[in-house]
Amino acid sequence: MCGILAILRSSVDPAELRRKALALSCKQRHRGPDWSGVCVQNYDTASGKVLNILAHERLAIVDPHNGAQPLYDESGNVALTVNGEIWNHRELREHLVPQKFATESDCEPIVYLYKKYGDEFVDRLDGIFAFCISDSTNNTFLAARDPIGVCSMYVGWGRDGSIWFASEMKALIEDCENYQEFPPGHYWSSKTNEFRRWYNPKWFDEHIPSTPLDLTVLRESLEKSVVKRLMTDVPYGVLLSGGLDSSLVASIVTRHAAKRTEDNEKSAAWWPRVHSYSIGLPNSPDLKAAKEVSEYLGTVHHSFHFTVQEGLDALSDVIYHLETYDVTTIRASTPMFFLSRKIKAMGVKMVLSGEGADEVFGGYLYFHKAPTPAKFHVETCHKIKALSKYDCLRANKSTAAWGVEAREPFLDREFLDVAMAIDPSEKMIRKSEGRIEKYILRKAFDTPENPYLPHHILYRQKEQFSDGVGYGWIDSLKAHAESLVSEEQMKNAAYRFPYNTPVSKEAYYYRTIFQKHFPSSAAAQTVPGGPSIACSTPAAIEWEAAWKNQADPSGRAIADVHTSTQ
């Protein structure tokens, strides 16, 4: 992941603003330690001088030799700063013939798509991205974010009337009167000065689908999604928890690692050995399962441990990088933060991960309680829409903290079109019939003639990452917060934190750390409120009366469903 910063329509002195932009962009350098770039565009208007600045911190994965940013058109008038990967960039280049390109960067076609189609080109991109284009020919700009929000992005409004875009909130908090998350699947154009949703699949409006289940189509769609994400010119790996989702991704990767994605698997890959990575407390469920999967698949496996004390010591750093105080996100991000540091130390810049499968297929344990297929489907829609605030935020920022990029095949745009069109009655969990959570995903890859995984791994029950690294991790977090937060503080929590008031000592503790790093009310409001159990929407709370007063977001809170593996 790269780091982007755009300051547009500013009236601040150019020299001063350039110094400011460089300093603020530096706050995001952990996202892109390989190179830095800046573009300054000055305008004289009737109202005075106006300045646009685009800054970029690069993590070089595709065309590391020539893909430095900002990227420009041949005239130098259109400048682009982007954090992302465009999977269909080869097809886009062919579409733009006879345009000559200056680099092999997968992001350069964005510049020329904008020139050819204007603001409406974003829907042509198949990828993950957050970008800003500044066009000096008419002093206009365009910013956009990928469909689900895999790449993080914020928008802010400066005191001088400027508008700002950045990969992380920390680049905006000093100079913006207000700021918020840039909504996924939207673009912002200076021509309209408003957000417009460009991503409009049927499922997004909670249309109840009825497409019959085809296991072959489902399997082939996910396989295609994984292969897309092998686009790289640098060493890569796979995150392997030993659960269904990451294990399937790892299995597919091993089947395609020997050939190069960039030429449709016609030539040998640059990095054919597949390395897998896992982390946990000693004797954690995930470490045991990951080792078994890696041995089955033949990956070069790296298993790491962390201690509870190391996790507690890192909480302030984790919250600073995450820019959230959500309990579940912090619990799961801490081991991922550690693992990303280990991965970077081994010279790897990109990893594939399993985020998104639970949202798409209703894999969380509370989906056992879904009363109807329609309500099951609507809840999956709500979960996917919220990913940018939870699991995508965790995966993006935990890895980017150490200059590593995470790619999530289950959130591929084309795969979502397939998976979210399936009749939701096929996704319902019916234990009496042997249909456990994510049953159709498991069945799609249950191919005895050419098995992807051992049968018991393919049908292993869901463990939330924060549980799977070792149950002692969550229990220790609760105990630590219990020792630091008093009953008096909890009694008065609403006075100190009137927005999104914490309801547990653990939540209160994280909130105090967050406030030290990000003291403004605008920062607090970038974190969603609502139920803090293992489900995230008020609608799902209605499925089970016992959940109304449940403050523990662990998957183990669904006590009559979860089966302990420790």
Residue 239 annotated as binding?
A: yes
Q: Does residue 2 carry a catalytic annotation?
A: yes
Q: What are phi and psi of 471, to 5 degrees?
A: -60, -25
Is 109:89 a contact under the CB 8 Å cutoff? yes
C-alpha torsion angle, residues 46, 47, 49, 50 (rounded to 10): -110
Long-range contacts of 432-438 (CB under 8 A, 24+ apart): 436/461, 437/361, 437/362, 437/363, 437/364, 437/365, 437/367, 437/368, 437/461, 437/462, 438/244, 438/357, 438/358, 438/361, 438/362, 438/363, 438/462
Residue 353 annotated as binding?
A: yes
Q: Is the bond into 70 cis (omega within 30 degrees of 0)?
A: yes
Is 460:244 a contact under the CB 8 Å cutoff? yes
Taking alpha carbons only, the member of 125, 105, 61 closest to residue 407 is 61
- With a CB cutoff of 8 Å and minimum separation 6, the contacts of 266 are 259, 260
Residue 286 annotated as binding?
A: no
Among residues 2, 39, 132, 151, the one annotated as catalytic is 2
| Euclidean distance between CA atoms 70 and 80, whole angstroms | 5
Token pair listed for 463: 């463990």
The 8-class DSSP code of residue 324 comes to -
Residue 354 annotated as binding?
A: yes
Q: Are strands 48-58 and 186-189 parallel, antiparallel or unpaired?
A: unpaired
Q: How many CB atoms lie within 10 A of CB 526?
A: 17
Residue 358 annotated as binding?
A: no
Q: What's 40-89 look like in SS3?
A: EEEEEECCEEEEEEEEEEECCCCCCCCCCCCEECCCCCEEEEEEEEECCH
Q: Locate tokens 């002692």: which residue?
A: 472
Q: What's 203-264 look like in SS3?
A: HHHCCCCCECCCHHHHHHHHHHHHHHCCCCCCCEEEECCCCHHHHHHHHHHHHHCCECHHHC
Q: Which residues are annotated as a binding site for L-glutamine?
A: 106
Q: Which residues are annotated as a binding site?
A: 106, 239, 279, 353-354
Active-site residue numbers?
A: 2
Q: Which residues are annotated as a binding site for ATP?
A: 239, 279, 353-354
